[in-house]
Amino acid sequence: MQNDVKVLIAEDEPNALAGLAELISGWGYRTETARDGVEAWEKAVAWDPAIVVTDLKMPRLDGMGLLAKLAEGGSGLSANVTVVVLTAMGSIQLAVEAMKLGAYDFLQKPVDATRLKTILANATRQRETTIELEVVRRRLRESGVLGRLVGGSRPMREIFGLIEQIAPSNVPVLITGESGTGKELVARTLHDLSPRKPRPFVAVNCAAIPETLIESEIFGHEKGAFTGAIERRVGCFELASGGTLLLDEVGEMPSATQAKLLRVLEERKLRRLGSRTEQEVDVRVLAATNRDPRHAVAQGHLRADLFYRLNVFNIHMPPLREHMADLPDLAEAMINEMNQKHSRRVSGVSPSMLDRLMAHNWPGNARELRNAIERAVVLCPDGAPLDAAHLPPGFGADESLGSPALDGSVVTVRVGTTVSEAERLLILRTLEAAGQNKTRAAEILGVSLKTLHNKLKEYGRDREEVRS
Ligand SMILES: Nc1ncnc2c1ncn2[C@@H]1O[C@H](COP(=O)(O)OP(=O)(O)OP(=O)(O)O)[C@@H](O)[C@H]1O
Ligand SMILES: [Mg+2]
């Protein structure tokens, strides 16, 4: 039998408690038991368990209370106690709350032994990789890069912090944001920073699969399950076994499929189409959408119960125009990537190119930037920096780029543009028209030089000052 891992079990019903203790010790864990939250807390402090399996409804101190105390920590306790909560049938809502409080996973009663075994094994594995991940994280945090995600701006750093915090757990995450903002990259990063990393990451775009095929794509099917099912097919859930499944544009799924998905998420059991037997599923599910999920719920596209189940955590990716300070770093990372991909040796970005990039509105976000950089890298001579001449013809034309003379220069602002965005365009264009002379630009704009500097800093243009 395995390990020395200490598991504390808290449950007020004596038979259930004895049963759990026997089961868990039988798998080679060291166990202790407690009959309520207070006793559990006292034993936790004295015995320092790695894992606590706790019922939610208990006298004196309930499971939530215990969870909160454990999360707070205390002398005698290791930094991270992994908590698995047991919930009564039908109290998913409480389980979700527990996950938000930091529980690692939950299990519905009556307890399914196989599933409990899997959770404990995962929790043990998670503890082993935590230290390893912490080292990686520290290094990444310092460099404004998280995995393949680039961004030193405040909104991106906040997102990186959240990703680090929730990556190791099993909680579902709903990732929202406009197209091209990096939602899939966030999902991959969550996977890469989790103990599931060695297992597959599978992404399925629900909007791209015809309704008639989607169930089979996700759940798999047996031979002969329906006309045309000539062979048995493994679904995405099974492909992602032990790993992570990203459901992209989940609101595009037919409502009946959403209901089936919800059942798999709650029961963690799956039945292939046309199969009579169910199988265990050990998959972390992430979802992404570029629509407003609450709007999708209101319109009846996304089932409210599924939304609730997926949205335990929400990561909202800001559009690029709201974190332009990251553009220079993003561009640099993308140039490196494209240099590799196309075997080129392009070096950096010329000031005029950076101006054009910074003045653009980026409706297509980081993806649009990546495409622009890829094209430019291919056109640019080796050893030289990317130049505005390498941008596609008409790039940013709708923003009325162009006339370097102040006379006759126009900044066109579309209805729907935010005031701060209009301000940014006006400032950058004026600066351009003033030949990058900040004193003159501040004069024209009627603001102090200090205000202009602050604004430029906000836009990530302070770096340029270092250069020029
Ligand atoms: N913060 C970032 N750092 C580095 N690269 C990024 C970042 N954000 C996005 N990218 C790159 O931009 C491109 C688009 O990202 P991704 O596919 O994750 O967007 P998405 O939000 O899933 O878009 P869609 O809604 O259209 O599916 C990818 O090539 C990705 O690598
Ligand atoms: Mg995507």
The CB of 366 under 6 Å from ligand 1? The reply is yes
The CB of 373 under 6 Å from ligand 1? The reply is no
Q: What is the mean pLDDT of the chain?
A: 85
Give distance in angstroms: CA of 46 to centre of ligand 2.
47
Q: pLDDT per residue over 363-389, tens digit each?
A: 999 999 999 999 999 999 988 999 998
The ranges of the chain annotated as CATH 3.40.50.300 are 167-318
3-state secondary structure of 244: strand
Q: What's the confidence (pLDDT) of residue 400?
A: 46
Give the closest ligand to the alpha carbon of residue 184.
1
Give distance in angstroms: CA of 162 to centre of ligand 1.
18
How far is residue 51's CA from residue 260's CA, in Å, rounded to a whole number? 31
**Ligand 1 atom with minimal separation from the 366 CA:** 12
The b/e string for 296-309 (b: 16+ C-beta within 10 A; e otherwise) is bbeeebbbeebbeb
The ranges of the chain annotated as CATH 1.10.8.60 are 322-467
8 A C-beta contact, residue 199 and residue 386: no
The CB of 318 under 6 Å from ligand 1? The reply is no
What homologous superfamily does CATH list for 167-318? P-loop containing nucleotide triphosphate hydrolases (3.40.50.300)
Q: Average pLDDT for residues 325-349, to the nearest whole number?
A: 93
3-state secondary structure of 175: strand
The CB of 324 under 6 Å from ligand 1? The reply is no
Give distance in angstroms: CA of 430 to centre of ligand 2.
35
Give the closest ligand to the alpha carbon of residue 186.
1
Q: pLDDT per residue over 431-452, tens digit each?
A: 887 778 888 888 888 788 888 8
8 A C-beta contact, residue 182 and residue 153: no
Q: Average pLDDT for residues 341-366, to the nearest whole number?
A: 92
Q: Average pLDDT for residues 385-402, to the nearest whole number?
A: 74
How far is residue 468's CA from residue 460's CA, in Å, rounded to a whole number? 14
Question: Could you tell me the fold of the domain covering 322-467?
Answer: Helicase, Ruva Protein; domain 3 (1.10.8)
The CB of 361 under 6 Å from ligand 1? The reply is no
Residue 464 binned pLDDT confidence (cut-offs 50, 70, 90): very low
Give distance in angstroms: CA of 149 to centre of ligand 2.
14
How far is residue 246's CA from residue 185's CA, in Å, rounded to a whole number? 11
Give the closest ligand to the alpha carbon of residue 155.
1
Please state the pTM of the whole predicted model. 0.68
Q: Which residues are bridge partners to 245 per DSSP?
A: 202, 285
8 A C-beta contact, residue 167 and residue 194: yes
Distance of CA 139 to the CA centre of its chain: 19
The ranges of the chain annotated as CATH 3.40.50.2300 are 6-131
Q: Which helix (H) or strand (E) holds 32?
A: strand 30-34
Q: pLDDT per residue over 27-53, tens digit each?
A: 999 999 999 999 999 999 888 898 999
Beta strands in 135-177 (DSSP E): 145-146, 149-150, 173-177
Give distance in angstroms: CA of 368 to centre of ligand 2.
13
The CB of 329 under 6 Å from ligand 1? The reply is no
The CB of 147 under 6 Å from ligand 1? The reply is no
What homologous superfamily does CATH list for 6-131? Response regulator (3.40.50.2300)
- The pairing of strands 279-280 and 269-270 is antiparallel
- Residue of 150, 184, 336 to test ligand 1 pocket, by largest number of atoms within 8 Å of CB: 184
The CB of 35 under 6 Å from ligand 1? The reply is no
Give the closest ligand to the alpha carbon of residue 365.
1
